[in-house]
Amino acid sequence: MKKILIFLGLFCFLILPLGAETVMPTHVSSIGANILGVYQAGKAITLYDEPHEGANVVTHISWSGDNIFPENKQFSNVFLVYLPRKELALLAVTDETEEWVQVLYDNEHGLRGWMKKDDPYKFMSWISFYNIYGRKYGLYMLKDTPDSIKDLHSAAEDDSQVISHLNLPPMNSGLPNKIKLNVMRGNWALVSVMDTDKMPKTGYIRWRSNEGYKYLFPAIK
């Protein structure tokens, strides 16, 4: 009985810190084609209807750990990425000026607001974001990516030779399914992967369509 109680105590200790909601894109439709990049949000967010401080305030949002205010907000509806254990909150950016970014703050209804940059380096274009986070953590493939996108090419061109095809295991299979990012070239990425064929593969893959839809995303952890 004593061992059981100790086990239950350890179980609760390990589980309780995981109560905060983790948000990562899962499908191609999770990231709109018109998104320019991401902005790393501070814990207090003030959004305006225009990019100047004399404009009307649209909303205030604050967050910390597993808490967000107003309480009717959901992390998954506000942030493109939210990792409480890293205190990392990324907003989707739809427009930018030298001092301001327009961000989505309600993904379900497409509501947007302007926030003043508190640090110019907190805005990252997609190329910068992938080069920083994709190189560090690798990439994963979004669930509804067309099968043709999984072709590995010999060059960063649609009409280049297809040299292989990715056969990645499911995300929850326990098998490695991350893709190593080597080089970004426009809408293409040179990647390396060990897939279910148990053969190392290297080639170019589209990470983004010509229209702006993303197929791969940094596997931040």
Distance of CA 137 to the CA centre of its chain: 12
- On whether both 104 and 141 belong to a single domain, the answer is no
Does residue 131 sit within a domain?
no
Residue 76: domain span: 17-118
DSSP helix/strand/coil, 178: coil
- φ, ψ of residue 91 in degrees (nearest 5): -100, 145
Q: Where are the beta strands (DSSP E) in 30-138?
A: 37-40, 44-48, 57-64, 67-69, 81-83, 88-96, 100-106, 111-116, 123-125
- On whether both 59 and 90 belong to a single domain, the answer is yes
Residues 6+ positions from 80 with CB-CB distance below 8 Å: 23, 25, 30, 31, 35, 38, 90, 91, 92, 104, 107
- φ, ψ of residue 138 in degrees (nearest 5): 85, 180
Does residue 208 sit within a domain?
yes
- On whether both 106 and 166 belong to a single domain, the answer is no
- On whether both 109 and 40 belong to a single domain, the answer is yes
DSSP helix/strand/coil, 47: strand
The structural domain count of the chain equals 2
Q: pLDDT tens digits, the chain, 221 residues: what are they? A: 444 433 334 334 333 344 468 999 999 999 999 999 999 999 999 999 999 999 999 999 999 999 999 999 999 999 999 999 999 999 999 999 999 999 999 999 999 999 999 998 999 999 999 999 999 999 999 999 999 999 999 999 999 999 998 887 655 544 455 799 999 999 999 999 887 767 788 999 999 999 999 999 999 98
- On whether both 98 and 172 belong to a single domain, the answer is no
Does residue 177 sit within a domain?
yes
pTM of the model: 0.85
Does residue 1 sit within a domain?
no
